[in-house]
Amino acid sequence: MDFRIGHGYDVHALGEGLRLVLGGVEIPHEKGCIAHSDGDVLVHAICDALLGALALGDIGKHFPDTSAEFKGIDSLILLRRVVALIEERGYKVGNVDSTIAMQRPKLRPHIDLMRERIANAAGVAVEQVSVKATTTEHLGFEGEEKGVSATAVVLLVKS
Ligand code: MG
């Protein structure tokens, strides 16, 4: 098969006074993601999409949150490792599309830097990485600012 598609979804709860890291970019905000790693919900969704495309399980299987090795880890390091797994199996990343759902703060000013950092970690051009952001109109846990969710789809191409 020349193409494989993958889907990823992740959620983290928000806590006061924690760092908020999305797409490898630290964003000034009074709340951040509660997590074992840096809590980068967007990069986690992308990792899951990449793993899912080759039916390799999920991020929790490869990088257990019980392991001290991954405590506070920069999720872009995890993304690099996932892309290495994909490449070992003879595939390369065609493109990535993703959406973050978060009520506040406005993410648009940070989107292009997120795309650059994700593209850099994944070894692809920035044009191959799309990051979008939406509010949920104050509905649900994202809208109530209790948490953040992200979804991603990827296309892998046989190299
Ligand atoms: Mg996660």
Separation between Cα atoms, residue 20 and residue 26, nearest integer Å: 6
User: Is there a contact between 111 and 58 (Cβ–Cβ < 8 Å)?
Assistant: no
Residues 83-117: pLDDT tens digits?
999 999 999 999 999 999 999 999 999 999 999 99
- Span 43-83, pLDDT tens digits: 999 999 999 999 999 999 998 888 888 888 899 999 999 99
CA 13 to chain centre: 15
Ramachandran quadrant class, 59 (left: phi over 0; alpha: psi -120 to 50; beta: rest): alpha
Say whether 138 sits in a helix, a strand or coil: coil
Strand, coil or helix: 155? strand
pTM (2 decimals)?
Answer: 0.97
CA of 11 to the centre of ligand 1 (A): 6
Q: Which protein residues have a CB closer than 5 Å to ligand 1 (ion)? A: 10, 44
CA atoms within 13 A on the CB side of 92: 7
CB 11 within 8 A of CB 147: yes
Query: Cα of 89 to ligand 1 centre, how many Å?
Result: 24
| Domains of the chain, earliest start first | 3-158 (3.30.1330.50)
* Dist. CA 66 → ligand 1 center (Å): 13
